Structure 1
Amino acid sequence: MKTGVAGVILAAGLSKRMGRPKMMLPYNKKTIVRHVIDAALRSQLDSVLVVINPQIEGLLQEVSAAGVTKVISNDSFHLGMSTSVKKGILSMPHNAEAVVFLLGDQPGISEQVINQVIGTYQAHDKPSIVRSAFWNDEKGHPVLFKKIMFEHLLKAEGDSGGKAVLQRFSSEIVYAELNQANIPDIDTLEDYEVLVKEKGG
């Protein structure tokens, strides 16, 4: 069943705090980014696009998995996450009515979480924004934006990504209530070590 929703995986980060390309780190018999891709491909997303940093050795090959609709190289990655958001939006299939942004450094993402975000979008008469809500009232990714929001996302600058849009249009956000803890980003070596220790490498 077509949902009209595309997925964009943001995997062009500099990994400054990690000191090495975090997307390519091994975790549970795969790389971190491959866990995100596989969850997206198993979900109800109509298409899956991946925005990458072309300077990371082996990343293009790693994300070019069967089922991935398109891989987009972001040569402006050093200017912040907003450049990847824009690249993703401008590369989406024309028939997509909404986009779900996924972070390439969240290997704990599951297709169930993605599907619940899509389900919330469909159940609430397709609102402009759907944001994930976790235990302890924590908010995070994935985040869905309807097409009407794209023009605002395309004006984002630096590392803000969609944060400014979320703040500006906070009254239009519908929350997908997820019965779980927030999904951690892997930003530092310590984050990675905790992940491997808790879940197994």
Structure 2
Amino acid sequence: MTGLIILAAGCSSRLGEPKQNLVFDNKTLLQRAIDAGRGSGCNPVIVVLGANAGAIVPVISGQDDILIVINPEWQEGIASSIRTGLAEIEKDDRVSNAIIMLCDQPFVDAALLQKLILAKQQSGKNIVACSYAGTIGVPALFDRILFAKLLKLQGQDGAKKILKDHPDDVATIEFDKGNIDIDTKGDYDHLLNAGN
């Protein structure tokens, strides 16, 4: 079984409002991420919130098939959110893999997440990451054997640190639009205009 951790705890400082609630194609960015997780068959689907949780929870509440956890240490950086989500995943012994994804990559869909799971089965590697814009990154799938290393991440170290530390254990899949994420108002405007 593969669990999914959606990292959505940041304060969106460069944007000036919670990016999680920005609407693209009639859904918030966070709801798009949740729907991708649902459609992929991942279980559990965990949403890690932190900053602005009070403004985000009402938008996604009432969805019984997802688990919302609050990261009280979100200001430390992305590592604290990975640890928060993984602590929940680890409670279920049936979960053999975890996918880590961000809430602000609008083109992640269920098919992409399913490709990560399939590539894990076919490659036998302990990590499957997405390849885009000359780099590899999230969404990325990690075998349970690496959970302990993910739990040791600190500060701004994200999943990419594990990818760099274990290059021989990484399989990749192509994700052409993986470099599109929303950090600024300009990013969001570009996303909206590109759809027209």
Do these two structures clear the TM 0.5 threshold for a shared fold by scoring above it?
yes
What residue in structure 2 maps to residue 132 of structure 1? 130
Question: Aligned letter for 2:194?
Answer: E
> Which residue does 1:101 correspond to in 2?
100
Cα drift, residue 55 of structure 1:
3.4
Give SS of 2:141's match.
strand
Shift of 1:38: 0.8
User: Which letter maps to 1:8?
Assistant: I
Q: Provide runs of 4+ in structure 1 moved above 4 Å.
A: none
Query: For residue 182 of structure 1, what is the amino acid of its counterpart?
Result: G
Instruction: Indicate yes or no: 2:127 matched with 1:114.
Output: no
**TM-score, with normalisation over the residues of structure 2?**
0.91
Q: Which of residues 72, 77, 99 in structure 2 aligns to 1:75? A: 72
**8 A Cα contact 1:9 1:50, kept in partner:** yes
Q: Secondary structure at the match of 1:58?
A: helix
* Amino acid aligned to 1:52: L
Matched length: 194
Query: In the alignment, is the contact (CA less than 8 A) between 1:50 and 1:72 conserved in 2?
Result: yes
Distance 2:100 2:11 in 1: 18
Structure 1 gap ranges (5+): none
Tell me how far apart the structure 2 counterparts of residues 22 and 57 of structure 1 sit (CA, whole Å): 14
Post-superposition CA distance 1:122-170 (Å, at most 9, x none)? 1123x21111123x54423210111111111111111111222111111
Quick one: distance in 1 between partners of 2:171 and 2:71?
30
The answer to which of 42-51 and 56-65 deviates more is 56-65
**How large is the Cα RMSD of the aligned pairs?**
1.7
Could you tell me which residue of structure 1 aligns to residue 184 of structure 2? Answer: 188
Query: Residue in 1 aligned with 2:27?
Result: 30
Q: Tell me if 1:147 matches 2:129.
A: no
Percentage identity across paired residues of the two chains: 28
Matched, 1:17 2:14: yes
Aligned-residue offset at 1:94: 2.7
Question: CA shift at 1:67, angstroms?
Answer: 5.0
Tell me, what secondary structure is at the counterpart of 1:96? coil
